[in-house]
Amino acid sequence: SYAKLLSVSVIDFFERTTQAMAVQADAGRAVAMRAYLRDQFPFLGLPSPVRKTVVREQVSLYGRPSAADGAELARLCFSDGQPREVQYLFGDLFIPQAHQLPLDWLPLIDELITTLSWWDTVDWLAPHLAGKLLLRHPDQMKPFTETWVSSTNRWQQRSALIFQLHYRHATRPDLLFPYVLRTRHSTEFFVQKGAGWALRQYSKIAPESVADFLRQYELPALTAREGGKWLRAHGGWLE
């Protein structure tokens, strides 16, 4: 259970878990996984279900790291040269606890968004960790994400666009729409696509608002196409 605290040190837990992961390594699969992320990161070749099973087994043996262990585990998991699955391990441990992470995790999540960055980590760090935390601290939402949208870092900009992905009716259009407009001159694929993804998600909740927005503003073709996908498939909102 999440309540069972670690019975070993954080470094011991990390070493035992990463060793248990390494035992399951699949060199052939690792080559394919590495190629999929443009050969930027080393891989063990663990499919997600295998990795999650290893993590569950380690947690049942040694307990689950708590939020207080986050900074130490982050340094270990996100250190250069670690297999990519070790960064995913951090998510496996803390996404289930996202609803109870303290506010002082925000700078840590921000740091991880700009460490060994690619969409495969940013796309859970921003919506699943930062997003869930900010939903519990609405007064922090604008000031914190404002620093992201103002950044020149494409991953922070993408985070500003996608942190609300799972907010549904709690989505703040007063942040979403201005952030899409403020990043629309970016030539970065991951920023344009992130904006489209966020608009598409929100279009399922507020189709009329998103359709109006897409009609009113000139957006990058990728953003407009992605953002309007659901609307075009459901009732011709954009006709």
pLDDT tens per residue across span 80-138: 999 999 999 999 999 999 999 999 999 999 999 999 999 999 999 999 999 999 999 99
Q: Say whether pLDDT at 77 is over 50.
A: yes
pLDDT digits 0-9 by tens, 160-189: 999 999 999 999 999 999 999 999 999 999
> How many angstroms separate the CA atoms of 170 and 182, rounded?
21
Q: Specify whether the CB–CB gap between 21 and 86 falls below 8 A.
A: yes
Domain ranges of the chain: 1-98, 101-239
Q: How far apart are the first and last CA of the chain?
A: 51
Q: How does the average pLDDT of the chain come out, rounded?
A: 97
Percentage of the chain beyond pLDDT 90 is 96
Name the architecture of domain 101-239: Alpha Horseshoe (1.25)
Q: Say whether pLDDT at 28 is over 50.
A: yes
Domains 1-98 and 101-239 alike in fold = yes
Nearest CA to 57 among 19, 88, 28? 19
- Please tell me the class of the 1-98 domain: mainly alpha
